Amino acid sequence: MTGHQRALIIGCGRLGAGRDHETSFLYDHASAYQALADRVELVGFVDRVLLRAEWAAKQHGVAFAGDHVTAALELLKPDVVSICTPPSDRQEIIAACDAAPSVRGIWCEKPYGLTYLPKLAVTQVNLIRRFDPRHQEIAKRVNVGGLTPNRHLFVICKKDIHTTCHFTDLARWWGVPKAQFHYLDFHGPALYVLREEGEIPGRYAGWRDEAFVGGGLSGSGFMERALGNLLDAMEGTADLLSPAENAIESERWATDILAEP
């Protein structure tokens, strides 16, 4: 499938439309569609809070709807759908997109969920570090055997499903086994580091020069790269970097970590 695609965003908050979120990074889906306007056209927004959908639509000069996902899919006939709703709503929406004849690609926020795999739509889950050059370079070194198998990933970050799934996914991508993945007490600032086994520095002060601090991202182009990879996969010219099957496995591991005492 080639040519100019049509996109619909479901969920018009911070991640879907950049609402109430000021940052130097391009984090929201709407801005990513703007950045790749030569490949994809944003045609509408859906949100159960109609005022949010109306606000987003006015920002971009497109259509909007309330909590009427199926009707919007039928009317606007998008090729790509961004799902930026709360996690509790996502599986039902993913199933509706998979049943819509026009939809060939889904770009879903994490956590993805643990049940539904679309049969027809190519599905990208927005585990953003997979689209960051600094993180990709480490993954390449892992694939060619350029890193010791004794590597450990130490993470000092908020411990909830939204955050933890990012780091279990990172560990899986970087080839770090469960026994060598360590979620430490979060006293701030947030950081993570990949290092060989050894003594953990007191209060983590010794990690500063080698750590990924805060979000650990090296630039603001990860959203465009995630969307571009999805469009390439829809056209059959690339493999997905963050497919739904992978996200499900990472979230299972994250759920296990959160269940630990």
pLDDT tens sequence across 81-138: 999 999 988 999 999 999 999 999 999 999 998 778 888 899 999 999 999 999 999 9
**Mean pLDDT over each residue of the chain, to the nearest integer:** 89
pLDDT tens figures, 175-218:
999 999 999 877 767 889 888 766 555 555 555 556 888 889 88
Q: Taking residues 132-153, report their average pLDDT.
A: 88
Judge if the upstream peptide bond of residue 111 is cis by omega within 30 degrees of 0. yes
pLDDT of residue 239 exceeding 60, the answer is yes
Query: How many C-beta atoms lie closer than 10 Å to residue 27's C-beta?
Result: 19
- Residue 78 in tokens: 């998008």
pLDDT tens figures, 68-78:
999 999 999 99
Check: CB of residue 73 under 8 Å from CB of residue 81.
yes
Q: How far is CA 74 from the centre of its chain?
A: 26
Domains with residue ranges and CATH for the chain: 5-127+220-243 (3.40.50.720), 133-213 (3.30.360)
Per-residue pLDDT, 2: 44
- Side chain identity at 40, as an amino acid letter? V
Q: Tell me how far apart the alpha carbons of residues 243 and 123 are, in angstroms, rounded to a whole number.
A: 6
Nearest residue to 56 (alpha-carbon basis) of 93, 21, 9: 9
Q: Tell me how far apart the alpha carbons of residues 70 and 97 are, in angstroms, rounded to a whole number.
A: 8
